[in-house]
Amino acid sequence: MSECIFCKIAAGEIPAERIYEDDLVVGFRDLSPQAPTHVLLIPRRHIATLNDLQPQDEALVGHLYTAAAKVAADEGLAERGYRTLINCNEDGGQTVFHLHLHLLGGRRMRWPPG
């Protein structure tokens, strides 16, 4: 996906504050943080939304979550806690159409979310 901003970040073609990477996943700080820690974890491979997941992507999505837990531990959030979420399409509030897991922490999260 040549026009996808998160594909470009994954490829290192545009800058981002990368704090995690492995063969499958890249983690970087959100440009507009909504909490003291706000990291986005993305698969290197382009998947537009949760609706586009295929059965063969299940291990990849599991990996996204284990990567998020590692980043949370590295950021000192594990004990106090944190929130992970994936927005899907318009009602979910998705604005970038490359699947990403938000990791938010460092403050008390509210429920229900807005």
| Closest alpha carbon to 102 in 24, 13, 6, 8 | 6
Q: Whole-number minimum distance, CB 85 to ligand 5GP, in Å?
A: 8
Using the minimum distance from each CB to ligand 5GP, give the nearer residue, 32 or 56: 32
Subset of 39-68 contacting ligand 5GP (CB under 6 A): 40
Interaction partner, residue 78 (ligand 5GP, Zn ion, none; CB < 5-8 Å by kind): none
Q: Whole-number minimum distance, CB 14 to Zn ion, in Å?
A: 12
Segment lying near ligand 5GP (by CB under 6 A), choices 24-32, 46-54, 63-71, 76-84: 24-32
Subset of 71-100 contacting ligand 5GP (CB under 6 A): 87, 93-96
| Closest alpha carbon to 97 in 46, 61, 60, 55 | 46
42, 10 contact by CB (below 8 A): yes
Instruction: Give just the sign of the alpha carbon dihedral 35, 43, 22, 9.
Output: negative
- Greatest Cα pair distance in the chain: 39
> Could you confirm whether 100 is annotated as catalytic?
yes
Q: Which residues are catalytic?
A: 100
